[in-house]
Structure 1
Amino acid sequence: MSFELGTDGPKVIVVGVDGSDTSMRAGAYAAGMARRQRARLVVVYVTGVPAASRLVAEAAGAVEQAVAEATEDMRRQVEQGALHAGVNAEFIAVRGDPYQELVRVAGELRADAVVVGSSRRFGHRFVGSLAVRLVKAGRWPVTVVP
C-alpha cells in the first residue's frame, strides 16, 4: 500500500487588504492559513486611482505623497504581521478597482484561495461587495472574514 507524497490544500493564498479592520483580520487569518498549509502568502494592497486630472498640480502632488506614505505604512504592517505569524509574505501594491486587481493578481499567480474582509458599507448589501463579486466569479475558493 502506498500513499501520496505532497500536500492537500492551497499552495498560493492571495489576501486583499486596504487597512480596514476587516481586511486586517483577513490578513491575519490568511497568514495563519498559509503557516498551517505551508503555502505562499501574497498580500495585495489596492489603492484607488486619484482623479489627478481634475486636481491642480499642487493637490495632485499631495495626493500622490499621501498614497505613497499609506502604501509604505501598509508594507511595514504586513512585514511586522508576517514576522509575528511566522510566515513569509509577499506584498504587492497596485492601483485600480479592488475587484479587478484582485482577480488579475490571483489569476496571474494561479492562486488556490482568496481571502478578503467583509464589507461594512450599507449599500453593499444591495449592490454587491467585493467578497460577493469574488464568490460569484467562481474561480477560487473565497474566504470572507468578518
Structure 2
Amino acid sequence: MASVTPNECTGDGPGVILVAIDGSTTSVRAAAWAAGLARRQKARLLCVYVATHPALAGMTYGMGAEIPMDFGTDEVSKDIATEIRDAARAYHVSADYLVRSGDPVTEIMKAADEARVDAVVVGASTQAGHRLIGSVAVRLVRAGRWPVTVVP
C-alpha cells in the first residue's frame, strides 16, 4: 500500500495558495479569505494580478511575460501591491506578489503551475457576459488542475 506524504511545510493542508486579484470587490474578498486560510494552514500566499492590455500592446510588453513590479504597468497594480503588503502584515502571512500581462486565465494557470500551488482562490465574476463565454473562475475550475475556491 502506498503511503501519503503530508505537505512538508504545513502538515496535510495547502503549502501554497494562489489568489487572483484584480482590484474588484469580489477579488478583495477572495484575497481576505485566502489570507485567512493561509494563516490557519501556515501556507504561503501567492497573489497574482494580470494586467490586460489591448491586443497590440501585448506585443510591446511581451504577451504573457512576467512584468517586474518596478515596471509600473498601471496604478491598479501599484495599489494592489500596497494593499497586499499591509494585509500580509495584518494577517501574519508570507505573501508574494506577481504581476503578469495577458489573458487572465492563461496567466493564472501558468503562475499556478510554475509555483506548484496547492489551491487557487478567485472572486466571483459580476459581469453578465461571463454567462456566455465563462468567467475566469469557471474556466479555472474546468482546467481541473487544483481545487478552486470561488468567493462571492
1:48 is aligned to 52
TM-score (norm 1): 0.84
Amino acid at match of 2:50: V
Count residues with an aligned counterpart. Answer: 132
Q: Does 1:19 align with 2:23?
A: yes
Q: Does 1:125 align with 2:140?
A: no
Unaligned runs of 5+ in 2: 58-70
CA offsets, 1:82-121, max 9 Å, x none? 1111112101111111000000000001110000000000
Identity among equivalent pairs (%): 52
- Distance in 2 of aligned mates of 1:125 and 1:52: 27
After superposition, the Cα gap between the structure-2 partners of 1:127 and 1:12, relative to the gap in structure 1 and judged at 3 Å, is same
Match of 2:81 among 53, 63, 75: 75
2:35 is aligned to 31
- Distance in 1 of aligned mates of 2:97 and 2:126: 24
Please list, as runs of the form range in 1=range in 2, the aligned pairs for 1:78-117 lying within 5 A after superposition.
78-117=84-123
Amino acid at match of 2:32: A
Amino acid at match of 1:32: G
Whose Rg is larger? Answer: 1
- Distance in 2 of aligned mates of 1:118 and 1:133: 12
**Which structure features the higher share of helix residues?**
1
**Structure 1 counterpart SS, 2:12:** coil
